[in-house]
Amino acid sequence: MFRITFLFRALCSVLVLTLVACTSVTNVKPGVNASLYLAVNERYLIRFKDGSLEKVKVVRVGRLDFSDSSGHTHYFDQVSEISREEFSGLKTVGFVIGSLVLFALIGQLLVEDTLRKSED
C-alpha cells in the first residue's frame, strides 16, 4: 500500500509541475529596441515603473509607444517589464507521455496489490 500512496503523490506532483510547464513566460526588459519585442494582436503582461500590472492586447506598436485594445497608449519609458506567455507543444507532449507512464505504473501496482490480496 505504501508504494501506491507514494506513486499517487508523485503523480500529483508531476501533474502540477507539468501543467505549469505547458507554457513559457518570456520576460523582456525594455530598452531602446523595446518595440521589437511587441507584436500586434498578441497579449502581454506589462509591468509599469509605478508598480502596476496590466494585461494588454497590442493593436499598434510605434518606436516610442504602443496602443492596446482598450485605446490606451503606453510609452516604453514608463514600462519596466514586458512578459509574454507562450504555449509550448513540446512541454505539453512531455506532460501527456509522463502522465500516461505514471498512470500505467499506478495501474500495475493496483493490479499486483489486488492479486496479492486475493492469494492471501
My answer on whether 74 and 119 are in the same domain is no
Structural domain count, the chain: 2
My answer on whether 66 and 92 are in the same domain is no
pLDDT above 70: percentage of residues in the chain: 71
Mean pLDDT value across the chain: 78
Model pLDDT for residues 61-111, shown as the tens digit of each residue: 998 899 999 999 999 888 888 887 666 677 777 777 877 887 787 778 778
Domain of 44?
A: 24-87
| Of the candidates 29, 32, 86, 35, the residue with the CA atom closest to the CA atom of residue 62 | 35
- Please, are residues 79 and 32 in contact by the beta-carbon 8 Å criterion? no
φ, ψ dihedrals at 39, nearest 5°: -125, 140
My answer on whether 82 and 52 are in the same domain is yes
How many whole angstroms separate alpha carbon 107 and alpha carbon 46? 45
My answer on whether 77 and 35 are in the same domain is yes
Task: Specify the CATH number for the domain of residue 79.
Answer: 2.30.30
How many whole angstroms separate alpha carbon 11 and alpha carbon 16? 9
pTM above 0.85, yes or no: no
My answer on whether 31 and 17 are in the same domain is no
My answer on whether 4 and 28 are in the same domain is no
How many whole angstroms separate alpha carbon 8 and alpha carbon 1? 11
